Structure 1
C-alpha cells in the first residue's frame, strides 16, 4: 500500500500590511507568482484516490498531531490522506478564493458564524445525514456546526480557551497572585514593570491576536449578548459602551510589549518562555505550542479578570476548530468516510494525546491522560455560561479582515484617538453590513 502523503506547503512570513488589507489576495506572499489556488489546490483526481485535506496546521506541534490522526485513519479505512499545508494566516485570508477555486475534499476551519458565512454562499457540502449517526456531541456543538438553514456542515474536533497565561515559577519567584478583578490585574502589571518584567507579552503582526483582548474587555464590561450583537453588526461602534472598551484598553496599553504590530504572536510567546514577560492574553494553543515539553507543567493561566461585578466572568472565549467538506468535493465517498472517523472519540484522542494544547469536544473522549493544563481548560470551558468563538469567527470574515485588523493595529499605534477610530469603524461597518 502507498503511504499517506503529508505535503508541506508552508510559506514564509507575509510583508507589512497595506492600509486597507484586502480579504482576498490574488498572490501568495513569499511564493513568487504562485497564486492561492495553486498553493491550496487539491491534488487528488475524481474517483477513489487519496482524500485530500486542506490544512492550516502549519506549526510543528499540530502538524505532527495531525500526522498521527490521519495515519490512524489509514489503518482503520485503508485509505490514503493527502494533506496540503499552508501557513495559518494565509489560509485564513484566502479561504473564499480557495473554496471558489479547486479546494481539497475536506478542509480545516472554524465553527459558528465563520462556517455559516460560507454555507450560505453554497460553498460547502451539507452533512446532516452524517450527523444522524454522530453521538457524543452536545446540542450546543450541533448548533455551532449548523448553518442558518438549520442543516449541518461542520464536524467539531477540539476547542481551547483564551485566558491570561503565565509561568508558575515566575509568579512564585516574585510572590504574585492571580488577579480576580481588572483593578488587581492592572496593579499586578504595574508591579511586574517595577520588577523589570514586560507585564504583557504582545504581538499583533498577524492581525488577529489582539482581537482576543478586545473580545474579553467587551464581554467583561458590556456582557456577552452586547458583544455578540456588536459582532453581528447590530450595534453602533460609536456607542459609549464601545468607547469604554477602548478606553479600558488604553489604560492597560502602557503595560503591553512595545512594537506589537511588528511582532508575531510566536515571538511574543517566546518572551514568556524566556521569563522576560509576566503574562500574555492568548489561546491555550499559542503559548502551549511554544513551551518545550519539559516546561509544560510550568505554564498556567487565570480567566480574564472581572470588570463589572454584575456581569462577572461567565463568558469564556473558546474557539471550536474542525472540518468541512467543500462543495466542489472530488472524492466524496472518501471525504465522508474521513469525516465520520473524525467525529469519533478515538480520532480526537489521537490528536489530543500528541498536542496537549486543546480539549476534545466529544463527551466520550478519554481524558485520563490529560495534562493539568488540559484538565483546567476543560473545567473553565464547562463552567462557562456563554462561549464566544473569537472576533474573526463571530463576525463576517470580510469585516474582520478588511476593517477590524486595520482598526486594532491603528489603535495599538494611536491609542488616544478613540473618537476617530470608532467613527471610522462604524462607517465601514455600514458599508459592509448594509450592502
Structure 2
C-alpha cells in the first residue's frame, strides 16, 4: 500500500518544504485546460486523476476502483501516476501549474496549508451530500482553516499501543486504562525479561507518533493542533509536561532505539521479545501479516493522562482525494469524488490491504478481519482525529526540528528545559506570529 515509511519519509518531507517555489513541474502538471472549467457536467471527456499510488499493489488497487467507477457512471478516468515521494516533493508546483481534476493527498496541515493558499478546490457543497458516509471527526479533518471542506477521506489506519493477546494472557497482563497503570505494566514486563516498549527510531519519524499521543493526552486536542500550527509556545509549561511524562517511559524502552528501524521493532513484538509498541496498524500489521500471526495482534488506546482529556483523541492518518480549483468539468469531478466517498469504492481498494480501513462509516464490517473491525470502532468512536506530526505541522519543521529534537530527547531525556528552549528558538523560522 502507500507506505510512506518505505520510501524515505524524511527525504520526502524535506522536498515538500523545499519546493515552495513557482516553477511548473513537467510530468506531474495536469494535461492542459481543455474543456470548460467548472462546467455543467454535460461533457463526456475523461476525468483526470493525479495519483501518488505508484507502488504496484496500490496502483493496481486504484485501477480497479476507477474501472468500477467507469462501469457505474459511464465516465472514463485518465490516471496520471507519479512516484509517491516525488509527488510530495513537487506538490506545490503541481498545484500552481494547474492540478488534475481530482488528485490524491492527505488530511491535516498538508491539506489546510494548500487550502489557505487557494490551491485546493472548495467542495463544501458536495460535502453536504457526503456527510452520511463520515463521522464528525473525519469532517473536521477534511476542513480548512476557513471552515470549508477540501478533502474526501478514502482510507485510514489508527495509531495506538499494539501487543500480542496471547502474551498478555500467558503472563496475566491487563490492558491499562491510565498512564500510571501503563507504567506499572511496563515494570512487570521488565521484571519478566521482556522489553516493555519496542522502539525503532532509525527511520527518524516513528517516535513522533509517541510525542503526539502523550501531548494530546496531557494537554488535549486543541492545544496539540495549535502547537502543530505554531500557535503555542514550544518552551511553555504544557510542552515541558509532555516531555516530563514521556521521560517516565524511557527506562522501559527497548535499548538502542536510534539504531533500530521500525520493522525490526515490530518484529520483536511478533517474536515475543517486546511487549508493546506505539505504531500504526498499517506498519505493524505488515509484519504480523507476513509472519502469519495477524490474528494475534491487538491494540488499546494510549492510556489516559489527564482525566479532563481522557482518551477522546486518537491518531489515524487519513489518505484521500482533493479537487482542482478549476476542474475541466466540475460536475464530473464531483461524480468521481462522490464515488470515492462510498464504502464500495474504498473496500474495492482495500481488498489488497488487511491492515487499513475504509474511511466510510458504511463499510461492511463482515468483509474485515478482526483487527480491521476493531480499527473501525476505534475510529468511529473518536471525538477528534489527528493525522501524525509530520502531516499536522509545517513539513520543514517536522523534518529539520521535530525529528532531531525527538532523537536528542531519546539520547538525553534529562534536559527537558534545554530541549524545549531549543525547539522554540528553531520554530520561529517556520511559524510567523
Whether TM-score is above 0.5 comes out as yes
Match of 2:303 in 1: 305
TM-score (norm. length: structure 1): 0.81
Match of 2:194 in 1: 197
- Gapped runs of 5+ residues in structure 1? 1-5, 27-34
Q: 1:159 aligns with which of 135, 156, 159?
A: 156
User: Aligned runs of 1:220-259 on 2, under 5 Å?
Assistant: 220-259=217-256
- Structure 2 residue 213 is the aligned partner of structure 1 residue 216: yes
**Secondary structure of the equivalent of 1:209?**
coil
CA distance 1:270–1:341, shift in 2 (3 Å): same
Task: Please report how far the alpha carbon of residue 155 of structure 1 lies from its aligned counterpart in structure 2 after TM superposition.
Answer: 0.9
Match of 1:274 in 2: 271
Aligned partners of 1:200 and 1:280 also within 8 Å: yes
- Inter-partner Cα distance in structure 1 for 2:257 and 2:65: 35
CA distance 1:14–1:347, shift in 2 (3 Å): closer
Single out whichever of 79-88 and 165-174 deviates more from structure 2.
Answer: 79-88
**Secondary structure of the equivalent of 2:422?**
helix
Deviations, residues 220-256 of structure 1 (Å, cap 9, x unaligned): 2222233233223232111122112112222312322
Match of 1:3 in 2: none
Deviations, residues 331-365 of structure 1 (Å, cap 9, x unaligned): 87765443232022211222344423233333333
Task: Please report how far the alpha carbon of residue 372 of structure 1 lies from its aligned counterpart in structure 2 after TM superposition.
Answer: 2.1
- Inter-partner Cα distance in structure 2 for 1:225 and 1:188: 29
Q: 1:366 aligns with which of 358, 364, 367?
A: 364
Match of 2:287 in 1: 290
Task: Please report how far the alpha carbon of residue 214 of structure 1 lies from its aligned counterpart in structure 2 after TM superposition.
Answer: 0.8
Aligned partners of 2:16 and 2:88 also within 8 Å: no
Aligned partners of 2:54 and 2:84 also within 8 Å: yes
Deviations, residues 346-404 of structure 1 (Å, cap 9, x unaligned): 11222344423233333333223222222222222333333333223333334333322
How many correspondences in the alignment?
A: 415
- Gapped runs of 5+ residues in structure 2? 35-44
TM-score (norm. length: structure 2): 0.82
User: Aligned runs of 1:49-128 on 2, under 5 Å?
Assistant: 51-55=48-52, 58=55, 62=58, 65-76=61-72, 77=74, 79-82=76-79, 84=81, 86-87=83-84, 91-92=87-88, 95-100=91-96, 105-128=101-124
Match of 2:41 in 1: none
Aligned partners of 2:130 and 2:341 also within 8 Å: yes
- Inter-partner Cα distance in structure 2 for 1:59 and 1:404: 32
- Inter-partner Cα distance in structure 2 for 1:416 and 1:306: 23
- Inter-partner Cα distance in structure 2 for 1:265 and 1:37: 33
Task: Please report how far the alpha carbon of residue 83 of structure 1 lies from its aligned counterpart in structure 2 after TM superposition.
Answer: 5.6
- Structure 2 residue 384 is the aligned partner of structure 1 residue 391: no
- Inter-partner Cα distance in structure 2 for 1:329 and 1:419: 50
CA distance 1:371–1:214, shift in 2 (3 Å): same
- Inter-partner Cα distance in structure 1 for 2:395 and 2:14: 12
Single out whichever of 284-293 and 338-347 deviates more from structure 2.
Answer: 284-293
- Inter-partner Cα distance in structure 2 for 1:213 and 1:184: 17
Aligned partners of 1:157 and 1:322 also within 8 Å: yes
Match of 2:17 in 1: 24
Aligned partners of 2:10 and 2:204 also within 8 Å: no
Aligned partners of 1:54 and 1:103 also within 8 Å: no
- Inter-partner Cα distance in structure 2 for 1:178 and 1:59: 38
- Inter-partner Cα distance in structure 1 for 2:260 and 2:398: 20
CA distance 1:42–1:333, shift in 2 (3 Å): farther
- Inter-partner Cα distance in structure 1 for 2:210 and 2:388: 10
CA distance 1:241–1:127, shift in 2 (3 Å): closer
Deviations, residues 52-86 of structure 1 (Å, cap 9, x unaligned): 432257485x5554344234334434524436253
User: Aligned runs of 1:177-192 on 2, under 5 Å?
Assistant: 177-192=174-189
CA distance 1:71–1:416, shift in 2 (3 Å): farther
Structure having the higher helix fraction is: 2
Task: Please report how far the alpha carbon of residue 142 of structure 1 lies from its aligned counterpart in structure 2 after TM superposition.
Answer: 3.4
- Inter-partner Cα distance in structure 1 for 2:332 and 2:200: 40
CA distance 1:181–1:204, shift in 2 (3 Å): same
CA distance 1:287–1:42, shift in 2 (3 Å): farther
Deviations, residues 291-322 of structure 1 (Å, cap 9, x unaligned): 22742211100111122334322222223321
